[in-house]
Amino acid sequence: MSRVYNFSAGPAVLPEEVLREAAEEMLDYNGTGMSVMEMSHRSKAYKEIIETAEADLRELLGIPDNYKVLFLQGGASQQFAMIPMNLMKNGEADYIVTGQWAKKAYQEAQKYGKANKIASSEDKTFSYIPDVSDLPVSENADYVYICENNTIYGTKYQELPNTKGKILVSDVSSCFLSEPVDVTKYGVIYGGVQKNIGPAGVVIVIIREDLIMEDVLEGTPTMLKYKTHADAESLYNTPPAYGIYICGKVFKWLKRQGGLEAMKKYNERKAKILYDFLDESRLFKGTVEKKDRSLMNVPFITGDEELDAKFVKESQAAGLVNLKGHRTVGGMRASIYNAMPIEGVEALVAFMRKFEEENL
């Protein structure tokens, strides 16, 4: 067996310790004589798994009691519809468009009400985060929507927008649990777990209780109401049971690493190695404004498409995989999520140095 350094944007690298534990428990979970995959979601053993997962997540993020934690399905993309369906009381919301995912959410919201694009960075291929300190927030807006870390472009909000009293809704798919967060600044925080937490198939929604209502957009399916899942503690129907179990193991792993403060420091150390190299390299360069750089997704180019393709091919052969940039932007992208060890980033930079020497 040999493991590679996997720089995929998602589904992405998971902690090896977690994978080993899951492997050990595959045939017999904790004396039950069955795999978690084979277990009733109403069983005592599973109840403990999901409750422990929620408790650990609450502890990691310091989630206040007046917020619900929901384990849902449908990917982050399903939230693009659920959010307006459940939260657009006035039929209006403001969107800040900083990449493809924010744009998709903005476009989806237009189906359910008036969605206003109050800022965008599309003019420069989403290579920066616009100034969000004094935006023309709409008087009637039910919420202001952001995508906090832009997975494809590699930018991240360093400061949250001034929403002028409106509720903030944030897609944190690709920066979930990468650093401490003040949950009270948000109405809704959500993300697909397949970027920085667990296997595809689970979406975590952290939502302030007063935003969960019966009275949502007419015709909203039962399964798309937050209230349905909140009332049933995420067990209205069969949840993505195995995925939640793995997420729970990752939460325990994060606690063993020292929690989110420690994770942030580690992520900063890792990203610095790569960004410092990009800033001094004569061949490679980063593609986004320095002040807005993401700690999680690092896009870079040589400026020559053929050389980029050669780099992707040779890095793959060297055990550094999935470095090809998103199909809409080209170049390269290294996703260096929580579970990417620092040795992986060091190996990448060593490889880049060697490639630079050979190709300049």
Residues with a catalytic annotation lie at 101, 171, 195
Q: Is 195 in the site for ligand PLP (CB under 6 A)?
A: yes
User: Contact with ligand PLP (CB under 6 A): which of 18, 76, 188, 334?
Assistant: 76
- Strand 332-335, strand 297-301: pairing: antiparallel
Q: How far is the CB of 100 from ligand PLP (least distance, A)?
A: 8
The amino acid that residue 198 corresponds to is G
The amino acid that residue 124 corresponds to is K
Binding range to ligand PLP, per CB under 6 A, among 14-22, 154-162, 170-178, 235-243: 170-178
Q: How far is the CB of 171 from ligand PLP (least distance, A)?
A: 5
163-168 contacts, C-beta under 8 A, 24 or more apart: 163/137, 164/135, 164/137, 166/94, 166/137, 166/141, 166/142, 167/87, 167/142, 167/143, 167/208, 167/211, 168/143, 168/144
Mapped onto helix, strand or coil, the DSSP state of residue 21 is helix
CA distance 229 to 80: 17
Binding range to ligand PLP, per CB under 6 A, among 38-46, 72-80, 83-91, 343-351: 72-80
User: Contact with ligand PLP (CB under 6 A): which of 147, 254, 296, 332?
Assistant: 147
Q: Is the distance from CB of 119 to CB of 136 less than 8 angstroms?
A: no
C-beta closer to ligand PLP: residue 88 or 175: 175
CA distance 37 to 50: 13
User: Contact with ligand PLP (CB under 6 A): which of 98, 151, 294, 302?
Assistant: 151
Residue at token pair 């359910």: 112
Q: Is 75 in the site for ligand PLP (CB under 6 A)?
A: yes
Q: Is 294 in the site for ligand PLP (CB under 6 A)?
A: no
Q: Is 77 in the site for ligand PLP (CB under 6 A)?
A: yes
Q: Is 292 in the site for ligand PLP (CB under 6 A)?
A: no
Q: Is 170 in the site for ligand PLP (CB under 6 A)?
A: no
For the CA atoms of 326, 161, 192, 245, the dihedral, rounded to the nearest 10 degrees, stands at: 140
Q: Is the distance from CB of 72 to CB of 188 less than 8 angstroms?
A: no
**Count of other CB atoms within 10 angstroms of residue 26:** 11
Q: Is 224 in the site for ligand PLP (CB under 6 A)?
A: no
Q: Is 101 in the site for ligand PLP (CB under 6 A)?
A: yes
Q: Is the distance from CB of 234 to CB of 215 less than 8 angstroms?
A: no
Q: How far is the CB of 151 from ligand PLP (least distance, A)?
A: 3
Site for ligand PLP in 3-22 (CB under 6 A): 10
User: Contact with ligand PLP (CB under 6 A): which of 155, 173, 220, 281?
Assistant: 173
Binding range to ligand PLP, per CB under 6 A, among 73-81, 134-142, 249-257, 323-331: 73-81
Q: Is 174 in the site for ligand PLP (CB under 6 A)?
A: yes
β-bridge mates for residue 191, sequence order? 204
Q: Residue numbers of the site for ligand PLP (CB under 6 A)?
A: 10, 75-77, 101, 147, 151, 171, 173-174, 192, 195
